[in-house]
């Protein structure tokens, strides 16, 4: 923990790392080739981005630029409970944090939940009954890629044909 060589290596690694949303924000967006339904996307900002890397806003902006309506939950700064090994080392607390985050996300009545962290994605999806996607899946779909497979079945709270994703 107090090893200066380890600290230097960690600092260099962190400086050379970039989140996919920051990378994509630097590139020109492909023309939107897919006809997408108007979707309300609830965005969960991962702790790794907002607290670890101090990065905020890039994912939300990208999703808005391709035509999604982005909603932010109450207490968006609070962890969803995934936090690396937290689900293994502190399962009860992890479950309580997830339930709280899911409650705030459900309150937005979104069509889909998006996040930039696969750990958060997997953790939040447990019992939520809404599609939970990585932002790259939505951005790929918006630029003509395949519809995410999570939309293959309707969410538990609404039939796919009434309001949910059709494209």
Q: Is residue 62 part of a domain?
A: yes
Instruction: Decide: helix, strand or coil at residue 65.
Output: helix
- Between 1 and 48, residue with greater pLDDT: 48
| CATH number of the domain to which 67 belongs | 3.40.50.1860
Q: Is residue 18 part of a domain?
A: no
The tokens of 10 are what? 């960690």
Q: Are residues 124 and 43 in contact, defined by beta-carbon separation less than 8 angstroms?
A: no
Q: Is residue 146 part of a domain?
A: yes
Structure confidence at residue 121 (pLDDT): 93
Q: Is residue 89 part of a domain?
A: yes
For residue range 21-69, what is the model confidence (pLDDT) as tens digits?
A: 776 777 776 655 556 778 999 999 987 767 656 667 788 998 998 889 9
CA distance 98 to 124: 6
- Between 116 and 6, residue with greater pLDDT: 116
Q: Is residue 108 part of a domain?
A: yes
For residue range 94-153, what is the model confidence (pLDDT) as tens digits?
A: 999 999 999 999 999 999 999 998 999 999 999 888 999 999 999 989 888 888 988 765
Q: Domain range spanning residue 147?
A: 38-152
Contacts of 85-88 with C-beta under 8 Å, sequence gap 24+, read 87/123
Q: Is residue 114 part of a domain?
A: yes
Q: Is residue 160 part of a domain?
A: no
- Between 12 and 108, residue with greater pLDDT: 108
Cβ atoms < 10 Å from Cβ of 132: 22
β-strand partners of 71: 42
The total of structural domains in the chain comes to 1
Q: Are residues 132 and 150 in contact, defined by beta-carbon separation less than 8 angstroms?
A: yes
Q: Is residue 30 part of a domain?
A: no
């Amino acid at each position: 923990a107090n090893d200066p060589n380890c600290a230097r290596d960690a600092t260099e690694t962190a400086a050379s790392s970039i989140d996919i949303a920051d990378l994509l924000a630097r590139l020109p967006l492909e023309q939107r080739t897919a006809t997408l339904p108007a979707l309300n996307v609830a965005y969960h900002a991962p702790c790794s981005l907002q607290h670890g890397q101090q990065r905020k806003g890039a994912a939300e902006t990208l999703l808005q630029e391709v035509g999604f309506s982005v909603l932010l939950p109450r207490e968006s700064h609070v962890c969803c409970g995934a936090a690396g090994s937290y689900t293994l080392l502190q399962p009860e607390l992890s479950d309580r944090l997830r339930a709280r985050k899911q409650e705030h996300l459900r309150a937005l009545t979104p069509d889909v939940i998006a996040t930039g962290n696969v750990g958060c994605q997997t953790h939040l999806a447990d019992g939520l009954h809404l599609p939970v996607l990585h932002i790259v899946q939505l951005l790929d779909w918006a630029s003509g890629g395949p519809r995410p497979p999570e939309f293959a079945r309707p969410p538990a709270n609404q039939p796919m044909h009434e309001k949910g994703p059709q494209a």
